Amino acid sequence: MKNLSLFFISIVFSVVVLAQQGGERGYSYLQIATNARSAAMGGQLISHQGSINQIADNPALLDSGKQNISFNYANYIADINGGSVFFHPHQKLKKYAFSMQYFNYGNFLETDESGNITGEFSAGDYSLAAYRVIKFRENLTFGVSSNMLFSFYPQSFNMGLGVSAGAYYTKPEKEFSAGLVIKNVGLQIINQAEVNNKLPFEVQLGLSKQLDKAPFRISLLAHNLQTWDLSYPNPDEITIDPFTGEEIKQWFSLDKLMRHFSGGVEFFPAKSFVMRFSYNHQRRREMSLNQKSGFAGFGVGAGIRFNKFTLDYGITGYHIAGALHMFSINTKI
């Protein structure tokens, strides 16, 4: 337990250091939902167990008593495809789990300066991860994960290492649970592209509550807590001081606050069937067009369980041009 405490202290120290550094971030595929349930619940779900897939959102959600292998497929925007596999060996390594994730961006034509086609190339991102869970008390669990990250792009190869740490608290008699995660603390090991891409570091806090005597569970996620202002400058919304000619910057607004929150509802009218609905305000604001917002920011999905299998489908709206479709199969072997 002493070693775990020291680990969390080092993670918190990294939070302070990284939060003060600016610059672009890479490995953005780590922020995309890895499974259908998370996709339907706004992108990530860190505060409730349900399948082995949830350890990608919060490593403390590993549950050794349930389905221990999952296959996930993602159909993303512009024919981008991805997938992941999660595996949890019950007996010998019941406190550990492993996963593999990939995103394939398809084939592209390679041309010279005159536009003549000289060939084609492909690009992809891959991640191999290991998870470790430690039960501190009956209702409190800690978890850590380590990710080896690989990016294959034309004439370049990048490799990185990321570490995430999470905590999970549950109060069964109240049908309440909560999660806290510090994600993607790490660095690049190999950088042939000579671009300093930082990992998408993030701090998240989530709450889940099932309503009394009602088939509903509400989950709320507060994300990117390490950064207050998540908005981008909009020329149409800039206010200029008539006396100084400088831009008037508003530190606080309801929109800036709401960009940190997403929420979802799970409705289970039957023991073997569940429906999901969600809303992500930041995604809605960033991906909507002024003339037409479409489905951006919303998510829906459903799941059905039969025999030893659970099938889930989730869709997350990104833009009127496309959405993320996720399919998941969970079982026990």
> Along the chain (333 residues), what's the average pLDDT of each consecutive run of 10 residues?
41 38 66 94 93 94 79 87 91 87 86 81 92 91 95 85 96 95 91 75 96 92 92 67 68 88 95 95 84 84 92 90 90 84
Domain count for the chain, please give it: 1
What is the C-alpha to C-alpha distance for residues 19 and 180, in angstroms, rounded to an integer?
17
In a domain, 237, yes or no: yes
Task: Report pTM.
Answer: 0.85
In a domain, 323, yes or no: no
* pLDDT of amino acid 5: 40
Measured CA to CA in angstroms, residue 69 lies from 52, 63, 127 at distances of 7, 12, 17
In a domain, 167, yes or no: yes
In a domain, 273, yes or no: no
In a domain, 313, yes or no: no
Neighbours of 196 (CB within 10 A): 12
The residue among 3, 2, 4 whose CA lies nearest residue 166 is 4
In a domain, 333, yes or no: no
What is the C-alpha to C-alpha distance for residues 79 and 122, in angstroms, rounded to an integer?
13
Measured CA to CA in angstroms, residue 110 lies from 117, 120, 122, 154, 195 at distances of 6, 5, 10, 10, 22
* pLDDT of amino acid 191: 79
Residue 93 is part of which domain span? 2-252
In a domain, 106, yes or no: yes
* pLDDT of amino acid 149: 94
* pLDDT of amino acid 21: 37
In a domain, 164, yes or no: yes
What backbone phi and psi angles, to 5 degrees, belong to 4?
-65, -40
